[in-house]
């Protein structure tokens, strides 16, 4: 799927009309998306408040050893832990690609805390985001420990934002509501917290334990267990490698494994087996697979992804989430009927998210200030419909709406053109491509062995412009 032209253009009469027009903007979330949105909005002259329910910046990258009271993540009143990181996690794309355009993710002056590897462990990303917040003086914008629980439109077209101070606890732990009015809302609340669960016939009578990867931290609790692991993402692969050192058996399921193919051992592993999907779970603890085999399992681990969720947004169905498609959204950002006063940053997946969020944020900031214009509501709506027709024609399911793996650079380049920013660097595009190939052929070692050295050199030549 290619992206049609981004129909935003500089307005000729912007100066005459007194632009740029500063707005009061509420940003929800201080992860990578919220931080870069805050920076771009500030640069464009807006007045910004970033609401963050956690105690620090970094979002997903703030590792917590805690898990939720309902480890499957279905109980709406469970104590929610935002981050889905597991302890061993190392990034899955090289740091040169991952960083923001003008604040490269390079190894910082060494001290024991820093991890200078190309694919560092998760804490290095958190430290990078903290550095970013410090460098651009963003922390002053953030209201920490403040959860937004209600956002709705007022009659005069502005937004009411209701928030409450949160002690780190469950539904009952919130205190002291506050209500404030803003011109615009930028939603940056992340989408790796609300678990999606696989549907398994017979699961209601199966007596074992179910966990979603959101609540996976360390492998030790899986000692001597027989584990059925559903999913084929990077996390599923990493977690299977983590737990097979402790578990008695790990049975990996993949949608792509043909039903007729008999279960097979994962090459190089004595206790890891590959299967097609689950046929049925039984009351005696057995899990039967479509390949005809079955095991008596102790744990089913769902590495089945996440759902978009905006529980605070009360916009009368102008924006809905249907089968993990948020819409209607113009260019995955603006709901046409509420543009530009409501926007979403960072919804795309299978992308390099930080630079994509950076470019989305630049666009939102410039549209809010009036320096760039959006097409009419009708034109935006037609663009959205056209996009969905192309998805249908390509035979892609609705929940692939925000999957940009095939065209992320095209998308970012078009936003960049509109915003007057250089396109994505050629080395970044090639480096991602080579990393994906290396990962495919060397899934166990791609983080430590590679041969894109010339691209790394090109990246660092570019970075000299930004690194002091």
Contacts to ligand FAD by CB under 6 A: 28-34, 51-54, 59-61, 82, 84-85, 89, 91-93, 98, 147-148, 188-190, 192, 235, 312, 346, 352-353
The dihedral over CA atoms of 128, 129, 131, 135, expressed in degrees to the nearest 10, equals 130
State which residue, 19 or 149, has the beta carbon closest to ligand FAD. 149
Contact 311, 386 (CB under 8 A): no
Q: Smallest gap, in angstroms, from Cβ of residue 150 to ligand FAD?
A: 10
Q: How far is CA 388 from the centre of its chain?
A: 21
> Measured from the CB atom, is 34 or 335 closer to ligand FAD?
34
H helical segments located in 377-452: 377-393, 408-419, 426-441
> CA–CA separation, 47 vs 44, rounded Å?
9
- Alpha carbon distance 347, 108 (integer Å): 29
The residue among 88 and 286 lying less far from ligand FAD, judged by its C-beta, is: 88
Closest to ligand FAD by CB, 86 or 341: 86
Block residue for tokens 């030549």: 461
Q: How many residues can be counted in the chain?
A: 468
Nearest approach, Cβ of residue 85 and ligand FAD (Å): 5
Q: How many angstroms separate the CA atoms of 210 and 229, rounded?
A: 10
Considering the complex, what minimum distance in angstroms separates the CB of residue 381 from ligand FAD?
Answer: 26
DSSP character for 252?
Answer: E
Q: How far is the CB of 51 from ligand FAD (least distance, A)?
A: 4
| Sign of the CA dihedral with 1 first, then 388, 400, and 28 last | positive
CB 119 within 8 A of CB 94: yes
Q: Which is nearer to ligand FAD, 239 or 287 (CB)?
A: 239
Write out the two tokens for 284.
């005696």
Instruction: Identify which of residues 80 and 416 has a Cβ nearer to ligand FAD in the complex.
Output: 80
């Amino acid at each position: 799927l290619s992206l049609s032209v981004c129909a935003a253009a500089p307005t000729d009469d912007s100066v005459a009309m007194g632009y740029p027009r500063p707005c009061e903007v509420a940003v929800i979330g201080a992860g990578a998306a919220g931080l870069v949105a805050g920076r771009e909005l500030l640069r464009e002259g807006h007045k910004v408040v970033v609401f963050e329910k956690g105690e620090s910046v970094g979002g997903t990258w703030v590792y917590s050893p805690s898990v939720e009271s309902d480890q499957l993540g279905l109980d709406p009143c469970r104590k929610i832990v935002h981050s889905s990181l597991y302890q061993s996690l190392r990034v899955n794309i090289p740091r040169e690609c991952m960083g923001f355009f003008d604040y490269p993710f390079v190894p910082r002056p060494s001290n024991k805390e820093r991890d200078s590897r190309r694919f560092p462990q998760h804490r290095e990303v958190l430290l990078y985001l903290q550095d970013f917040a410090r460098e651009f003086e963003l922390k002053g914008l953030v209201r920490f420990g403040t959860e937004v629980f209600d956002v709705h439109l007022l009659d005069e077209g502005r937004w009411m934002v209701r928030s409450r101070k949160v002690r780190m606890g469950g539904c009952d732990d919130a205190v002291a509501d506050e209500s404030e009015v803003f011109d615009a809302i930028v939603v940056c609340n992340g989408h790796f917290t609300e678990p999606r669960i696989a549907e398994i016939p017979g699961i209601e009578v199966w007596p074992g334990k179910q966990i979603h990867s959101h609540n996976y931290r360390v492998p030790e609790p899986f000692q001597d267990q027989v584990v059925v692991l559903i999913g084929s993402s990077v996390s599923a692969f990493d977690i299977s490698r983590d737990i097979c050192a402790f578990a008695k058996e790990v049975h990996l399921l993949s949608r792509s494994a043909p039903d007729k193919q008999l279960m097979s051992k994962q090459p190089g592993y004595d206790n890891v087996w590959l299967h097609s999907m689950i046929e049925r779970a039984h009351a005696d603890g057995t899990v039967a697979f479509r390949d005809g085999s079955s095991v008596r399992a102790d744990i089913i681990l769902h590495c089945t992804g996440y759902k978009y969720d905006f529980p605070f947004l009360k916009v009368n169905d102008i924006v809905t989430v249907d089968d993990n498609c948020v819409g209607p959204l113009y260019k995955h950002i603006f709901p046409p009927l509420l543009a530009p006063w409501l926007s979403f940053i960072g919804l795309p997946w299978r992308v390099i998210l930080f630079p994509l969020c950076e470019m989305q944020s630049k666009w939102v900031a410039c549209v809010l200030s009036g320096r760039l214009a959006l097409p009419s509501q009708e034109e935006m709506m037609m663009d959205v419909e056209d996009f969905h027709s192309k998805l249908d024609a390509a035979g892609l399911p609705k929940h692939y709406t925000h999957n940009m793996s095939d065209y992320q650079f095209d998308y970012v380049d078009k936003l960049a053109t509109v915003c007057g920013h250089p396109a994505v660097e050629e080395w970044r595009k090639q480096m991602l491509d080579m990393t994906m190939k290396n990962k495919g052929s060397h899934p166990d070692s791609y983080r430590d062995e590679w041969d894109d050295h010339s691209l790394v050199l090109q990246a660092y030549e570019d970075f000299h412009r930004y690194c002091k």
